[in-house]
A = this chain, B = another copy of it.
Amino acid sequence: MIKPGPEMHILVVGSVALDTVKTPFGEAREVLGGSAVYFSASASFFTPVSVVAVVGADFPGESLEFLKKREVDFAGLERRPGRTFRWQGEYGFDLNEAKTLDTQLNVFAEFHPRLPDAYRARELIFLANIDPELQREVLTQVQGPRLVAADTMNFWIREKPDALRRTLEQVQVLIINDAEARMLAGEPNLVRAARKILSWGPRLLVVKRGEYGALSFSDGGWFAAPALPLEQVYDPTGAGDAFAGGFLGFLASTRNFDEANLRRAVIMGSVMASFAVEAFSLERLHNLTYPEIEARYRQFKALAHFEDL
């Protein structure tokens, strides 16, 4: 299945943040977070990743050292005067939805992504959950990428629907959760919502459903990926970005976009999300190994497999 030749490189544009997170299992204060960080930590197990983002003068640069060692390139990380983006959230026992307690955009409020020249030819682009206008600013700076994937959220769906629709015209893979898919399409039925969204540009819609797994929709068919039942979920923060990182990282490393490999990629996204939630912040991804990733993929296979009649 894996094609010979070098893997594709990924560019991610998103946030680098300091998170304060409370769950029923504990609390973490001002720990490394943000969509670009979770995404790149996850994707870096598969392929080199370049990050475009912004931090403030207060950002502890050494917190990114472990990612730099994993071939994550931060030449596109701008450091500006002021404070780093901060997010504070809390999860209840069901751990399915974060309650946002506080968001301080800080330097992120004035952020405009500027790609270093070396990044313009990146083949896979991930537009993490940022203003859809900024997502398009990124796309004006790249040269014929093979694949553009994007995330978004309820805030942009509500506040900038037109800008978001224009971005979607340029996106091949949209990776969002089920509430977002329903809200984006204005349609409570997920199948009809998916059909509508696929008519707007994306050729593949990946719908994340937390502990219920993921569904993907395309002309090639529908695919239902399970989530691994986990005995301990410590911190769901970043699970969605870890999912996107596993999904795109796997595609980048295999350079194969056929239906069978897209399904493997959805499972790999689920695999990486399942690791991300096992500890606070990026702790679990720090010491994760590739053999563990492969073993968990096999666990997903054993979990979901059934025979023909």
Interface residues of A (CB under 8 A from B): 1, 93-94, 188-192, 194, 209, 211-213, 215, 221-227, 229-233, 260, 263-264, 266-267, 294, 297-298, 301-309
Supposing A188-B93, A260-B307, A301-B308 touch, asked if A229 and B222 sit within 8 A by C-beta, the answer is yes
Task: Determine the distance from Cα of A218 to Cα of B302 in the docked complex, in whole angstroms.
Answer: 14
**B residues within 8 A CB of A232?**
189
Task: Return chain B residues, CB-CB under 8 Å to A303.
Answer: 221-224
Looking at chain A's contact residues, the main secondary structure is: mixed
5 further A-B pairs in the complex, CB-CB below 8 A; given A215-B229, A223-B304, A224-B303: A189-B231, A194-B229, A221-B303, A222-B229, A294-B309
Question: By the criterion CB–CB under 8 Å, are B221 and A302 in contact?
Answer: yes
| Distance to closest chain B CB from A309 (angstroms) | 6
Most chain B CB within 10 A, of A213, A224, A260, is at: A224
User: Bound complex: CA of A278 vs CA of B1, how far in Å?
Assistant: 39
Report whether A304 and B306 are in contact in the complex, using a CB–CB cutoff of 8 Å. Answer: yes
Q: Shortest beta-carbon distance, A94 to chain B, in Å?
A: 7
Q: Is the CB of A226 within 8 A of B229?
A: no
Q: Are A264 and B94 in contact (CB under 8 A)?
A: no
B94 and A188 form a contact (CB under 8 A): yes
CB neighbours of A188 from chain B (8 A): 93-94
Report the Cα distance A194→B264, complex, angstroms: 28
Set of chain B residues within 8 Å of A224, measured between Cβ atoms? 213, 226-227, 229, 303-304
Given A188-B93, A209-B212, A224-B213, A306 and B231 touching (CB < 8 A)? Answer: no
